[in-house]
Structure 1
Amino acid sequence: MTSACRSAFFDADETVITAKSMFAFLRHWMAQNGDSGSGYDRVMADIRTLAADNVDRSEINRTYYRLFKGVPQRELVAAGRDWYDRYRNGPGAFVGATLDALDRHRAAGDLICLVSGSFRAVLEPLAEEIAAETILCTEPVVGEDGLLTGEVHQPMIGAAKTAAVAGVIAAHRLSPADCYGYGDHLSDLGLLEQVGNPHVVDVDPELVALAKERGWPVLPAAPAALRQRD
């Protein structure tokens, strides 16, 4: 268990990285498996329809992972690392203001946690890059045969994020008032309300408006390249 006195919780997509990792990875995965792009477009159209019909984000999250039913976990892990290795070198792959915040938290010796509806196969290499000790994410169910069942243990969305953050704070006996949070979407509100120092990346107008009402710092979403750490 870490000896850190405080923790910094970061949503991943459009908070640390500028992409939506689940969908960026899906395009990569489908292309590696022979899709010319039309299959990906159909999947995304279906997901946009669900969102337009106000289907709960947790159910949309579950729908996404059903696309991988029958896939060997080891293949998904390898593909996730391959996707990230390609993604990380993009000139605008990361949110610059968040990279600055990560530098400050690392220098302070804070426990860094990623909290995301995305999954470990794509988040683990990112966590290694930014020195995040803990990953709180959606975990696909893997059968005894090593194949994904298409289901997940729990979508790490909304209330699940809130509970997961509270659990880490309690487990490490941290003071919530001393902890930090970073998010970009209204679904991150519960996460942000668990800490004494919430920060909002300027992506979602609803969350930004709420942040301004509450006097929370709003960080620019300007993209930046990854910086080399000493």
Structure 2
Amino acid sequence: MKRAAFFDVDGTLTRRTTMFDFLEYSLAARGFPPDAYHRARAHLRGLASRGVPREDACRAYYRLYSGLDADETEAHGRAWFKESFGRGDFFIEETVAAFRRHAADGELTVLISGSFPPCLTPITEYLGADILVCSRPQIGNGQRYTGNLATPVIGEAKAAAATALAAEHTLSLTHSTAYGDHISDLPLLNLVGTPVRVGTDPELAPHTEGPQWRQLHPAVAHPT
């Protein structure tokens, strides 16, 4: 049976949180002042601090794009990636090196993230990943985002997506690997034979003590 390597993106492959980094870029590209981003970020942080489930906070994020042209947003995503990558320290090189090794070994490489295509398509293309699994906000008439999102690819949804891919591609999850940096990645990490914790998330750490677990400790990024 074939093997796969599943990679979370934000905090695992990238040093930046793509959703927020892109939101700031998108608002500026549409002519909003900087405080528009700070207000939006404060609102979303407020949801988390009040105990709103992560999935609902994710849906609130995508409501910020309601009414926007999807093709234009995709174009902004490509411009954002070019600019962000050009500033340096975009990727966590240790995880990218692991990605390259899995790809060279012929394993199916899968990016799996709660972020969405405008952020993730350029990353997928740059890395040459085989499959992208991500949140996909609804697009309505006129190719505009409706603001609705059925299923954020977070937590158990990541594990469900990986299970579906395993059935579709005849993958052995027991012989597969997954990389994640956050407690919300735990359902995916627990699904595979070789789970890899990236970084030092204190919530995730207590769950990563078994012999099957591997650790990846990225070097601290330095300003360029």
Contact 2:110 2:130 in 1 (8 A): yes
Deviation per CA, 1:157-212: give whole Å up to 9, x if none.
11111100111111111111111100000000011111111101014112123213
In structure 2, which of residues 75, 79, 82 is the aligned counterpart of residue 78 of structure 1?
75
Return the offset for 1:223.
Answer: 5.3
Look up the match of 1:115. 112
Letter in 2 for 1:109: G
Residue 40 (structure 2) aligns with = 43
- The 5 A counterparts of 1:12-31 are 12-31=9-28
Contact 1:119/1:139, CA 8 A, preserved across alignment: yes
Aligned length: 222
Q: CA deviation at 1:215?
A: 5.1
Matched residue, 2:51: 54
Distance in 2 separating the partners of 1:49 and 1:206:
20
Which of the residues 182, 186, 191 maps onto 1:194? 191
Give the conservation status (yes or no) of the 8 Å contact 1:192–1:199. yes
What's the offset of the Cα at 1:35?
A: 2.3
Deviation at 1:156, TM superposition (A): 0.6
Identity of aligned residues (%): 39
Query: Which residues of structure 1 form unaligned runs of 5+?
Result: 226-230
Q: Which of 62, 73, 90 pairs up with 2:87?
A: 90
Residue 128 of structure 1 aligns to a residue in which SS?
A: helix
Q: Tell me how far 1:54 sits from its aligned partner.
A: 1.0
Which residues of structure 2 form unaligned runs of 5+?
none
Superposition pairs for residues 1-230 of structure 1, below 5 Å? 5-213=2-210, 216-222=213-219
Q: Which amino acid aligns with 1:188?
A: D
Using the TM superposition, give the Cα deviation of residue 152 of structure 1 relative to its aligned residue in structure 2, in angstroms. 1.3
TM-score, reference length from structure 1 = 0.92
- Higher-strand-fraction structure: 1
So what's the TM-score if we normalise by structure 2? 0.94
How far apart are the structure 2 equivalents of 1:151 and 1:136?
18
SS at structure 2 position matched to 1:145: helix
Question: Is the 1:91–1:224 contact (alpha carbons within 8 Å) kept by the matching residues of 2?
Answer: no
Structure 1 vs Structure 2 CA RMSD = 1.6
- Report the Cα distance in structure 2 between the residues aligned to 1:204 and 1:217, rounded to whole angstroms: 14
* CA-CA distance at 1:213 after TM superposition: 4.8
Runs of 4+ in 1 over 2 A off after TM superposition: 212-215, 221-225
